[in-house]
Structure 1
Amino acid sequence: MSILSDQTKRDIDALVSSGRYRSEKDVITDGIRLVRDREHRLALLDNDVARGVADIDHGRVRTASDVFTRLRARYAQSVAESTEPSS
Structure 2
Amino acid sequence: MLSDQQQHLVETLVQSGRYQNASEVLRDGLRLIEERERLEAAKLKALKQAARQAWTDVSAGRYADVGDDQLEDFVGQIGHRAAQLAKAAS
TM-score (norm 2): 0.63
Q: Name stretches of at least 5 consecutive residues in structure 2 with no aligned partner.
A: 65-90
- SS in structure 1 opposite 2:17? coil
User: How well do the aligned residues superpose, as a CA RMSD in angstroms?
Assistant: 1.4
> In structure 2, what is the equivalent of residue 53 of structure 1?
51
Shift of 1:62: 6.0
Deviations along 1:29-81, whole A, 9 cap, x unmatched?
00000100110011001000000001111117665xxxxxxxxxxxxxxxxxx
* CA–CA distance in structure 1, aligned partners of residues 48 and 2 of structure 2: 36
Check if 1:26 corresponds to 2:30: no
Aligned residues: 61
Q: How does 1:73-84 map to 2 (within 5 A)?
A: none
Q: Mark the runs of 5 or more structure 1 residues left unpaired by the alignment.
A: 64-87
What pairs up with 1:58-73 in 2 under 5 angstroms? 58-59=56-57
TM-score normalised by L of structure 1:
0.65
Greater Cα radius of gyration, structure 1 or 2 = 1
Q: Which amino acid aligns with 1:14?
A: T
Runs of 4+ in structure 1 over 4 Å off = 60-63
